[in-house]
Amino acid sequence: MPSSQSLSDPRRVTVRLPDFLPDFLPELLGHAAFAGVAILLLLAAGQPLLTDDTWLHLALGKAYAAEGPWLSADPLLARALGPPAPAAWLFDVGLFGVERWTGFSGLRAVHVAGVAAILALTWSLLRRASGSRLFASLASGLFIALSAYRLIQLRPHLLTMLAVLALYWLLLEGTSPPSRKRIAGAVVLFAIWANVHAAFLLGPLLVGAAFAGGLIAMLWRDAGARERSRGRAIGLAAAGGLGGLATLLNPGGIQPHLAWFVAGRETPDLARVGDEWSAVNLFAFPLPGLPPSPLAWLIFWGLILAVLALIVHVARRGRQSPNGNETRAPFDPALLFVALLSLALPVIAVRFLWLGIFPLLLLAHALRPWLEARAQEKSIPWIGAVASLLLLPAFLNWGTGPLIFATLPGTWAGYAEPYRAGKYHADLIWMLDDAGLQGTAFADYHMAGFAGYWLAPDIRTLVNGTLNVPQDVIAANLPLRERRGQREGETYTELLDRQGIDLFLGIRLPRAADSARPWFYSTAHLERTPSWIPIFRNLTSAIYLRANAKNQPNLQRLVEYYAEQEVPFDPAVGFDAERVIRKNRNWAILHGLIPRHFGAITKAAYGSDPKLKVQGRGTLAAIYTALGLYERAIGLDRKRLEADPGIVAVRRRLVWCLLRLGRITEALEFAEPLGETPPGDWLSHRIYDVAREVIDSNAEARAGLIARLPVLSYAEAAALTAGLAIPVPRVP
């Protein structure tokens, strides 16, 4: 950062720009770039609900609205430790109230309004700190790049963001001691905060950091300045102490304070690699598809280096006051300590990246004299404008932009839907609800809140985002998705028995992951498993029922349900997808067993056009593979390979189907050419390796290896699901 002396040095290099460029143009461009990023973010926030935990908060909000914050039992979980901790009960009730009064559209509007308020407050604080509207737009764009992954989620952390910004405005924006009114406002803020989000402890932490910075600042100041710093430190201590006591004014007392430490410790046990409790690794470039984005990682590094440079600059170029006995720093030491804490927390958990607002505010304060001194130079606004313009494509390509574009519906009709029913495999949930089944269900972690909202209390899930379950249940989550036992020597079915699961919801196609985020395929986990029968199956999901005496009433409900639907169902063997397609094709299409153009596919597969026949039979074999109709798929693919042995995708599918049927020797025979494919064809090599490995494996290990084996590429899976009916959203 330049010293005050360098600002007036006539030898400094200046850049002259053409006089015909209007003075307002760089600021206009900078604001336009920020507006572009902000509008894209608001569009993402306002899209159909896609935050998994929103459903959890809605379901709990309904319970809190009926019983108050002290629930007698957990309304959603089958093996809960007790009532859920009411750490966010006020947020939950408010969210539920908005949904009941205004519907899902109201929830989306509230989300957009909340994000807009955060952005507006951020811009305002940065403008006042820097004295520059252009700097405020640039820094606000950087804040969006750091926080977009959090801002597009409708969760109580949005209120924490607002609370943190409000806390800065009340206590830290000025260097004077906070007034009694501001301290009182902070105390009220703490009391509300402790009832809407467990992250309320950020407040005392930030105030404590500011207090420590104020104390250290007193060490090198003269008597007058020291007295002012002392007054500010006393004010911060009062706000922090009284605010800390105010956080105890919640239904859980001290328990929400403990939840702060429990959440981060237990969440990694779910092996959700993309979870936001994972730390930011400063010395490893981010993995694709996982937070932080490459842009956020680079900005975070930039903030670290900028703050360090600022500290070094102040240490080396401290300015002497006129009386010669005081060294004055061009920034607020209290804010410096808050910024340092904000840079430390993301190294613990990536979810705290949004706290980069404090280093940005620190830099805004420090750069203000420099910006004001060069206010008349044309080059400085253009530097800010160019930086803002570059940030926009960087955000779209290397920031959260790709995630936003991947989730935004492609049509207005899609955007108008209340929520993304397909994301939660809602056809499974609607079937369970319509059939009136009861019991304990295992559903993938991201589906649990949605399932609880629609099915509880008749059907309760094993685990959800509250983690209000024993450690043994949390530890079972990953083995259940990977089709293996949890304990030494335990089989998969023994694990299901021990957890008391009645209904197993399997999801997804057996495709390769397209990013570092793990892809769990569980649709076929319980195929041909003793004591379990399929009760529903479509191209991308399945439901299995434990066939025991306890579930005989469920089985009878299923018989009645399918009879009403005019769909064949044999309670002895369960749901037969091929029979359903043959007997009631319209129902099969509406429920996602086959694509809408299935008739055209079969016509092409058995028609006279050779080219169309090849394409049709390939698509038909892929559909049969996904539905578990392996014999049908094998018959088609054998003939295809006889005509053209070099088609790798067909050979992969044939080997995979043979493995699923337990025909290991035959599978290995067809797999040999896969081992000779180029090294870059990792999917073929994976199938070949598993075909060899299962020969010497016991039955349980063999089943697990085959269950975790993908067969489709991302592109093949996308083509297979084209034309599938999407579940229709329901409104309570």
Band (313; pLDDT cuts 50, 70, 90): confident
**Region class of 153: left (phi > 0), else alpha (psi between -120 and 50), else beta:** beta
Q: Are 399 and 145 in contact (CB under 8 A)?
A: yes
For 78-92, 256-270, 447-461, 546-560, which range has the lowest pLDDT when averaged over its residues? 256-270
Band (616; pLDDT cuts 50, 70, 90): very high
pLDDT the model gives residue 217: 76
For 5-19, 302-316, 633-647, which range has the lowest pLDDT when averaged over its residues? 5-19
The tokens 């500011």 sit on which residue?
Answer: 210
For Cα atoms 156, 158, 160, give the angle at the middle one, nearest 5 degrees: 80
Query: For 25-77, what is each residue's pLDDT tens digit?
Result: 999 999 999 999 999 999 999 999 999 999 999 999 999 999 999 999 999 99
Band (255; pLDDT cuts 50, 70, 90): confident
Rounded CA-CA distance 708/710 in Å is 7
DSSP string over 241-297: HHHHHHTT-STTTTHHHHHHHHHHHHGGGGT-TT-TTSPP-TTSPPPTTSSSPHHHH
Q: What is the 3-state secondary structure (H, E, C) of 180-195?
A: HHHHHHHHHHHHHHCC
pLDDT at 21 over 80: no
Band (263; pLDDT cuts 50, 70, 90): low
Query: For 86-133, what is each residue's pLDDT tens digit?
Result: 999 999 999 999 999 999 999 999 999 999 999 999 999 999 999 999
pLDDT at 650 over 80: yes
The two structure tokens encoding residue 443: 């559903």
Give the pTM: 0.92
pLDDT at 383 over 80: yes
Quick check: helix, strand or coil at residue 459? strand
Tell me: domain 596-732, CATH 1.25.40, correct?
A: yes
In this prediction, residues 635-660 reach a mean pLDDT of: 96
Quick check: helix, strand or coil at residue 681? coil
For 345-359, 369-383, 517-531, 649-663, which range has the lowest pLDDT when averaged over its residues? 369-383
For the chain, give every domain's residue range. 120-257+287-403, 420-594, 596-732
Contacting residues for 700 by C-beta, under 8 A, at least 6 apart: 484, 485, 491, 492
Strand partners, 544: 504, 534
pLDDT the model gives residue 274: 45
Rounded CA-CA distance 259/213 in Å is 28
Band (464; pLDDT cuts 50, 70, 90): very high
pLDDT at 579 over 70: yes
The alpha carbon of residue 431 and the mean position of all alpha carbons in its chain are separated, in whole angstroms, by 27
> Of 84, 349, 53, whose CA–CA distance to 202 is shortest?
349
Rounded CA-CA distance 183/243 in Å is 9
Contacting residues for 716 by C-beta, under 8 A, at least 6 apart: 511, 622, 649
pLDDT the model gives residue 304: 98
pLDDT the model gives residue 222: 60
Query: For 314-358, what is each residue's pLDDT tens digit?
Result: 888 765 444 444 444 457 899 999 999 999 999 999 999 999 999
pLDDT at 262 over 50: yes
Query: For 183-236, what is each residue's pLDDT tens digit?
Result: 999 999 999 999 999 999 999 999 999 999 988 877 766 666 677 778 889 999
pLDDT the model gives residue 326: 44
pLDDT the model gives residue 242: 97
Quick check: helix, strand or coil at residue 460? strand
pLDDT at 376 over 90: no
The verdict on whether omega for the bond into residue 330 sits within 30 degrees of 0, i.e. cis, is no
Task: Choose from 153-167, 213-227, 604-618 the range with maximum mean pLDDT.
Answer: 153-167
pLDDT at 574 over 80: yes
Characterize the bridge pairing of strands 532-537 and 319-320. unpaired
Average pLDDT along the chain: 92
pLDDT the model gives residue 10: 40
